[in-house]
């Protein structure tokens, strides 16, 4: 695997964006429609093909019937020609996108962080936002995001729900530990927490007042309830996995150290078909794992990673990267979890171990901060993930043909 080169990432990402713009420019749209979408209303602005100023068409109710009426009116206004809509990604999801596509027109959901902003703009209204979206869409200055299908979105919801339950479990455990520690009790550091023995020890603690015993038991019950919810969501993910079309790729990714079925499901649920990226460098840039840069003239400065893109997938990768701090070896645990992986995926997994374990050791011996080293390992791990997914997707397509 080649050394990371931020300049090469930037060039490849720019070329990928140019390909997307070129594909879109091959279609001729009569109208470019900017939608500022809210829970109850949608502000509509229209930019006709050409250089005329966009027109504001007012607000409509955010309902399926009102959107159908708007599409019909716009289609009649341009003689039934193809329309291109856009709106910002947000809490309202992808239902509007799917409705527009089903009507036979095109729609882009754009990343809010990638919308150009003028430094002098100090007024923000729904009308201005819609007009700006329509104008930028016509100019080709907006970057659309990848849209998951309904099955993909359902799997992603399941993975995110488990992550939320896990976060609540961590919070409940921290609150219980803090309460116990405030009163002079603590579990030995060299013993495992949250076992039957640990819970028995907690429930046997004595406090000066009766109501403190009630507080302790409530904290313990909260931790147990949170743990039960996490276990329930984990079981649900394992039941759903065999029905998912990406299940063979999940099995293949388990050949990598630090990635089990849960983390593989999370990555694929968040990223979808990773083979859509032309190179692993594009995937690294998409995940925000590349260094930020501020260069001018002959001066070049690089800083922390950009932190753009999907934070759920990035966090999962960084967590997986910690396992490479140990020497490379084929453990019994690794063999058990990767039993369903192909021989090709296992070979890539072993190659990744030799590369990344050595890389971790080299960087830490050079005095680098371990957190920065872990992020660097996560970035390179992304390349091996891309390689496995592309190979497995190619085999799947060959079987389909």
CA separation for the pair 38, 62 (Å, rounded): 7
- What is the reported pLDDT for 19? 47
pLDDT at 294: 78
> What DSSP state is assigned to residue 113?
G
CA distance 236 to 73: 45
What integer pLDDT is reported at residue 395 of this predicted model?
Answer: 82
Q: CA dist 44 to 33, 56, 130, 211, Å?
A: 7, 6, 6, 58
Write down all domains in the chain, each with its CATH number in brackets: 25-139 (3.30.420.140), 150-243 (no CATH), 247-294+301-400 (no CATH)
Report how far residue 377's alpha carbon sits from residue 356's, in angstroms, rounded to the nearest whole number. 6
Q: What are phi and psi of 35, to 5 degrees?
A: -120, 125
The Cα–Cα gap between 221 and 376 comes to: 40
Question: What is residue 2's predicted lDDT score, i.e. its pLDDT?
Answer: 42
CB 129 within 8 A of CB 108: no
For the chain of 401 residues, list the mean pLDDT of each consecutive stretch of 10.
46 46 66 96 94 94 96 93 95 94 95 87 92 94 90 96 97 97 93 95 94 96 97 97 94 96 96 90 92 79 83 95 95 94 96 96 95 95 96 75 49
Q: What is the pLDDT, as a whole number, of residue 299?
A: 78
Question: What per-residue confidence (pLDDT) applies to 22?
Answer: 52
Q: Considering the entire predicted model, what is its pTM?
A: 0.86
């Amino acid at each position: 695997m080649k050394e990371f080169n931020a300049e090469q990432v930037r060039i490849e990402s720019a070329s990928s964006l140019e390909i997307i713009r070129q594909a879109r420019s091959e279609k001729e749209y009569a109208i470019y429609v900017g939608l500022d979408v809210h829970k109850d209303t949608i502000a509509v602005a229209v930019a006709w093909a050409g250089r005329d100023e966009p027109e504001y068409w007012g607000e409509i109710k955010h309902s399926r019937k009102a959107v159908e009426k708007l599409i019909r009116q716009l289609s009649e206004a341009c003689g039934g020609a193809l329309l291109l809509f856009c709106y910002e990604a947000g809490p309202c999801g992808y239902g509007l996108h799917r409705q527009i596509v089903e009507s036979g027109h095109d729609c882009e959901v754009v990343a809010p962080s990638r919308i150009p902003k003028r430094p002098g703009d100090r007024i923000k209204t729904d009308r201005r936002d819609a007009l700006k979206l329509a104008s930028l869409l016509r100019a080709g200055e907006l970057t659309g995001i990848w849209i998951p299908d309904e099955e993909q979105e359902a799997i992603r919801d399941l993975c995110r729900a488990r992550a939320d339950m896990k976060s609540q479990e961590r919070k409940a455990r921290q609150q219980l530990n803090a309460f116990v520690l405030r009163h002079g009790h603590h579990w030995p550091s060299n013993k495992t927490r949250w076992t039957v023995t640990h819970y028995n020890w907690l429930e046997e603690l004595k406090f000066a007042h009766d109501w403190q015993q009630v507080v302790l038991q409530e904290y313990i019950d909260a931790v147990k309830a949170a743990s039960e919810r996490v276990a329930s969501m984990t079981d649900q993910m394992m039941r759903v996995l065999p029905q998912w079309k990406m299940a063979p790729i999940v099995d293949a990714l388990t050949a990598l150290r630090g990635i089990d079925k849960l983390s593989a499901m999370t990555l694929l649920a968040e990223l979808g078909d990773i083979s859509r990226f032309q190179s692993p460098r594009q995937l690294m840039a998409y995940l925000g794992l590349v260094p930020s840069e501020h260069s001018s003239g002959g001066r070049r400065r690089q800083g922390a990673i950009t932190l753009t893109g999907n934070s759920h997938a990035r966090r999962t990768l960084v967590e997986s990267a910690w396992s490479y701090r140990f020497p490379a070896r084929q453990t019994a645990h690794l063999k058990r979890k990767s039993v369903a992986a192909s021989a090709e995926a296992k070979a890539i997994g072993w190659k990744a171990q030799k590369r990344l374990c050595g890389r971790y050791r080299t960087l830490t011996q050079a005095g680098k901060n371990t957190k920065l080293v872990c992020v660097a390992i996560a970035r390179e791990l992304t390349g091996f993930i891309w390689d496995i997914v592309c190979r497995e997707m190619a085999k799947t397509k060959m079987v389909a043909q």
